[in-house]
Amino acid sequence: MEFAGKILFMAVMAIFVQNFVLMRFLGLCPYIGVSKKLDSALGMGMAVIFVMTMASTFTWLIQTYLLVPLHIEFLQTIAFILTIASLVQLVEMVIQKTAPALYKSLGVFLPLITTNCAVLGVAILNIQSEYNFIFAILNGLFAGIGFTLVLVLMAGIRERLDRAELPASMKGMPIAMIVAGCMALAFLGFSGLKF
C-alpha cells in the first residue's frame, strides 16, 4: 500500500505540481512549435512519452553500471545525450515504417526530440534525485504524460485562438507565450496540494 501511495504521489508531483513545461521550463520548443494542431500535438506527445520512458531506463542503467563503476561520472552529459540521440533515431525509424501519416505530420520535430531538453532533463533529474530503477522509469513516464497533457491543452486553445481577433503584433509566438503564462498561473494552484 505504501508503495502505491508513493507512486501516486510521484505521478501528481510530476504531472501537475512540478509540470515539466510550465513549472520547470523544460521542453518549451516543441511546446510552442508543435501546438498548432491537435492531432500533431497528440502524436508528438506520444513520441515524447515513449522516448522519455526509454531514456530514463537506459540512462539509469548506463549511470549505475557503466559510469559509476568506472568513475567517469563527469562524462554523464556526453553519455546521456548520445543515448537519447540513438533512441530518437530508433523511434523515428519505427514511426516512419509503421505510421507514415504520423511521420509526415510530425515532420521536422521528431529529430528535434533529441534537443528537447525535457528528455535530457528527466534523465539528469532521475540521477540527481537518487531514484531507484523502478522510480526512475516511472518518473520518465509521468513527466512525459505531464508534457503531453499541457501540449494537448495548448493545441486545443490555439486552434480556437486562430479565429480570434488579435492585434497584429500579438499574433503567433507572443500570444502563445501569454496563453502559456495563464496556464502556468492555473498550474501554480496545484502547488497548494498537500499530502
Partner 1 sequence: MAWLKEFTKGFIKENPVFVMALGLCPTLAVSSSVINAIGMGLAATFVLVFSNMFISLIKNLIPSKIRIPAYIVVIASFVTIVDMVMHAYLPAIHKSLGLFIPLIVVNCIILGRAEAFASKNNVFLSILDGLGMGLGFTLALVVIGSIREILGAGQFLGMNVLPATYKPMLVAILAPGAFIVMGLLMSLMNLTKKK
Q: Which residues sit at the interface with partner 1, rule CB under 8 A?
A: 22-29, 32, 74-78, 81-82, 85, 111, 114-117, 120-121, 124-125, 128, 167-171, 173-178, 180-182, 184-185, 187-188
Neighbours of 147 (CB within 10 A): 29
| Location of C-alpha cell 515513449 | 50
CB 125 within 8 A of CB 139: yes
Longest dimension (CA), the chain: 60
With the CA atoms of 43, 47, 48 and 52 taken in that order, what torsion angle do they form, in degrees rounded to the nearest 10? 160
Specify burial of residue 47 (Cβ count, 10 A radius: 0-12, 13-18, 19+).
buried
Closest CB to partner 1 among 21 and 137? Answer: 21
d(CA 138, CA 131): 10
CB of residue 3 vs partner 1: minimum separation in angstroms? Answer: 27
d(CA 118, CA 158): 22
Label residue 37 left, alpha or beta by phi (over 0 means left) and psi (-120 to 50 means alpha).
beta
**Which residues, at least 6 apart from 195, have a Cβ–Cβ distance to it below 8 Å?**
9, 12
CB of residue 56 vs partner 1: minimum separation in angstroms? Answer: 15
Closest CB to partner 1 among 77 and 132? Answer: 77
Closest CB to partner 1 among 26 and 141? Answer: 26
CB of residue 140 vs partner 1: minimum separation in angstroms? Answer: 15
CB of residue 173 vs partner 1: minimum separation in angstroms? Answer: 5
CB of residue 1 vs partner 1: minimum separation in angstroms? Answer: 33
Closest CB to partner 1 among 7 and 12? Answer: 12
Closest CB to partner 1 among 46 and 183? Answer: 183
